[in-house]
Amino acid sequence: MVVIARSGARRWVSSADTAAVTAGVRVGMAAAKAQALFCGLMMVDADPVADAKALQRLSLWALKIYSPVVAVDGADGIVLDTEGADHLQGGEAMMISGIANRFRPKGLTARVAIADTWGAAHACARTISRETVIVPAGQTVKAVERLPISRLRLPEKTVSDLRTLGFRTLGELSATPRAPLALRFGPEIGRRLDQMFGRVSEPIDPVRTPDLIVVSRSFAEPIGAAETIDKYVGRLVVELVEKLQERGLGIRRADLLVEKVDGTRQAIRAGTAKPARDIAWLTKLFRDRTEKIEPGFGIEKLSLAAVMAEPLEETQSVSTLVDDTDRDITPLIDIFGNRGHRVYRYAAVASDVPERSVRRIAATAADVLETWTLHWPRPTRLLAHPDPIDVIALLPDQPPVSFTWRGKRRRVKRADGPERVFGEWWKRDSESAAVRDYFTLEDEAGERFWVFRSGDGENLETGSHRWFLHGIFA
C-alpha cells in the first residue's frame, strides 16, 4: 500500500508501507513506475488538509499531556520543548517510550527523539530505525554528523544542488567554509546549521486552543529580579484562580510561560495530584521553581495557562467537636512531585515471597485496608539482592552454626526457623518446585539476620541449596 501525492501534473509516491518497500517501491518514485513494479498495488490519494488537521489535533493532545510548548513541525511531525516538563512523566526515557507506546495500539509507528535543539531532534527522529533515541546533552555534533543533508530542513532544490556538489552528510557540510556556500545558496544553510548546533536560538511558537484558560501580563520594562518575578507570578495565580472559579474548574496541570526580550521562551510546568484552585497551594508550586527561570536580558511577558483543568466543586468541610481529622497533605505531595522526587506509599500484597509482599502505590491513593499477616518477625532492612553467604549447617532443617557475610565470620548463638516459603507455582511455572527456608539468626554480639537456604535441604529440584542473607533485623 502506498500513498500518492500530486504536485502539478506529476503523481508520486509520498509514503509506502513495509510490504511496498520490500517490493522495491521508494518514496519519491513516480506513481506509474510503482504500479509497474508491483501488480495490485493499493494506492491511496494523499490528503494534506486532513493530515494537517490530524497533526494539529495531535499537537493539542501533546500539549495537554507532555509539554507546555508544542508546535507542528513540518508536514509530518510535532515538536515539543520538554525542558522542565519531563519529570511529570518520570524522566526523559520514560516519557519518550511512553509516547511511542501510546501510538502503537492505534497501529501507528512513531519515531521519537530528544536532543538539545529542535534541528537535531528533527533530524534524528526522521533518521533513526529504532523507535526512540535520546541524544545526550552537549553531544549534538557527534549525533548528527553522519546524517544525510536532506534532514537539515532545507528546500529540496538546495538539497539536490548540494548533492550534485558531492555533499552527503551534515558533518561534511558543517566542516565546509561558510562564505562560498552562502554566496551560492544564500544564508539559509548557515542558519539551519547554526540552529541545529544551538548557536542561534529557535523558539517554538506554541499551539493554543481557544478554550484554554490563560492569563498573561506584559511588562513595559523587562523584569529580571527574582522578587519581581515572584510577585507577578503570585498575581497571575490570583487572576487564574478567579477565572477558574467562574467556570467551576480546578487545575491538574498549569504552565508558566516566560517570554524573554531576546525572543526565547522558557516554560515551567507544574502538576497537581488532584484538581486545585487554592491560591496559596498553586503559588507555592510555582514559586518553588521560579529559581529555575533564567531571566537573561529580561522578561517581557509572563503567561499562565491552565492546560488541564477538571471540574472542582466546593465541598463543605465537616466540622466536628473533636478535631481529629488529618490535614490534607496533597499540596505537600505536589511540591515533592514537581521537584522530581519519587513519592509513594507501601501497600501489602498477598504473597509469601518477601520481596513480592510489598508494592508501591501513589501517595494520594485511597487508604488500603489490606495489611500483612504478621506471624513472624520481619527484618527492618531488606537487601534488594540477597547476598550469598558461606554457611556451616546441618541439613535438612537445622539452622546454621556459623556463617560468613561480607568477609566476617559470625557464630550463631540463637536461631529460629525454618519458615518455609514456597514458590508461586500458580503464577510462575519456573517456581513450581522452588522452596526457600528462612531462618532468623542471632550472633554472639546480638546482631540479628534473616537468612534463607534456597531449597528444602533434601531435594535438589527445590533449589540450589545455597545460602543467602536477605535482611537485617533491628
Q: Rule CB under 8 A: is residue 278 a binding residue for another protein?
A: no
117 φ, ψ (degrees, to nearest 5): -125, 160
Q: Rule CB under 8 A: is residue 442 a binding residue for another protein?
A: yes
Burial environment of residue 241 by CB neighbours within 10 A (0 to 12, 13 to 18, 19 or more): buried
Whether residue 431 contacts residue 363, with contact meaning beta carbons closer than 8 Å, is answered with no
**Separation between Cα atoms, residue 397 and residue 374, nearest integer Å:** 22
Three-class SS state of 407: coil
Region binding another protein by CB under 8 A among candidate stretches 181-189, 236-244, 298-306, 330-338: 330-338
For the segment 288-327, give every residue that binds another protein (CB under 8 A): 324, 326-327
Query: By C-beta, is 336 or 425 nearer to another protein?
Result: 336
Region binding another protein by CB under 8 A among candidate stretches 12-20, 203-211, 250-258, 343-351: 343-351
Size of the site for another protein (CB under 8 A): 51
183 φ, ψ (degrees, to nearest 5): -60, -40
Residue 112's DSSP bridge partners are 132
**Separation between Cα atoms, residue 414 and residue 402, nearest integer Å:** 11
Q: Which listed residue (77, 354, 400, 418) binds another protein by CB under 8 A? A: 354
Q: Rule CB under 8 A: is residue 353 a binding residue for another protein?
A: no
Q: Rule CB under 8 A: is residue 279 a binding residue for another protein?
A: no
Three-class SS state of 141: helix
Q: Which listed residue (346, 388, 394, 459) binds another protein by CB under 8 A? A: 346
> Taking the complex as a whole, how short is the minimal distance between the CB of residue 450 and another protein, in angstroms?
9
**Separation between Cα atoms, residue 410 and residue 346, nearest integer Å:** 33
Whether residue 469 contacts residue 389, with contact meaning beta carbons closer than 8 Å, is answered with yes
Query: By C-beta, is 10 or 342 nearer to another protein?
Result: 342
Three-class SS state of 229: helix
DSSP string, 103-122: HGGGT----EEE-SSHHHHH
Query: By C-beta, is 204 or 347 nearer to another protein?
Result: 347
For the segment 356-375, give every residue that binds another protein (CB under 8 A): 357-358, 363, 367-368, 371-372, 374
Q: Say how many Å lie between the first and final Cα of the chain, rounded.
A: 67
Q: Which listed residue (33, 345, 356, 411) binds another protein by CB under 8 A? A: 345
Region binding another protein by CB under 8 A among candidate stretches 15-23, 182-190, 340-348, 451-459: 340-348
Whether residue 195 contacts residue 118, with contact meaning beta carbons closer than 8 Å, is answered with yes
Please, which contacts does 157-161 make with residues 24 or more away whose CB atoms are closer than 8 Å? 158/185, 158/188, 158/189, 161/185
Query: By C-beta, is 355 or 390 nearer to another protein?
Result: 355
Query: By C-beta, is 49 or 384 nearer to another protein?
Result: 384
Q: Rule CB under 8 A: is residue 204 a binding residue for another protein?
A: no
> Taking the complex as a whole, how short is the minimal distance between the CB of residue 252 and another protein, in angstroms?
20
Residue 268 Cα distances to 213, 217, 288, 291, angstroms: 16, 16, 11, 11
Question: Is omega for the bond preceding 155 within 30 degrees of 0, making it cis?
Answer: no
Query: By C-beta, is 185 or 372 nearer to another protein?
Result: 372
Region binding another protein by CB under 8 A among candidate stretches 104-112, 174-182, 229-237, 436-444: 436-444
Residue 171's DSSP bridge partners are none
State the helix-helix crossing angle for 188-196 and 156-164, rounded to 10 degrees.
100
For the segment 258-277, give every residue that binds another protein (CB under 8 A): none
**Separation between Cα atoms, residue 160 and residue 359, nearest integer Å:** 57
Region binding another protein by CB under 8 A among candidate stretches 60-68, 252-260, 453-461, 466-474: 466-474
By rule CB under 8 A, what string of x and - marks binding of each residue 380-419 to another protein? xxxxx----------------------------xxxx---
> Taking the complex as a whole, how short is the minimal distance between the CB of residue 129 and another protein, in angstroms?
33
Q: Rule CB under 8 A: is residue 471 a binding residue for another protein?
A: yes
Q: Which listed residue (448, 451, 455, 467) binds another protein by CB under 8 A? A: 448
Query: By C-beta, is 297 or 336 nearer to another protein?
Result: 336
> Taking the complex as a whole, how short is the minimal distance between the CB of residue 400 and another protein, in angstroms?
13
Three-class SS state of 170: helix
Query: By C-beta, is 118 or 467 nearer to another protein?
Result: 467
State the helix-helix crossing angle for 118-127 and 188-196, rounded to 10 degrees.
90
Query: By C-beta, is 77 or 379 nearer to another protein?
Result: 379
Q: Rule CB under 8 A: is residue 332 a binding residue for another protein?
A: yes
Q: Taking the CA of residue 270 as centre, how many other CA atoms within 13 Å lie in the half-sphere pointing to its CB?
A: 29
Query: By C-beta, is 7 or 317 nearer to another protein?
Result: 317
Q: Which listed residue (344, 387, 390, 432) binds another protein by CB under 8 A? A: 344
Q: Taking the CA of residue 365 as centre, how many other CA atoms within 13 Å lie in the half-sphere pointing to its CB?
A: 13
**Separation between Cα atoms, residue 13 and residue 2, nearest integer Å:** 7
Residues forming contacts to another protein in the complex (CB under 8 A) are 324, 326-327, 329, 331-333, 335-336, 339, 341-348, 354, 357-358, 363, 367-368, 371-372, 374, 377-384, 413-416, 440-442, 444-448, 471-474
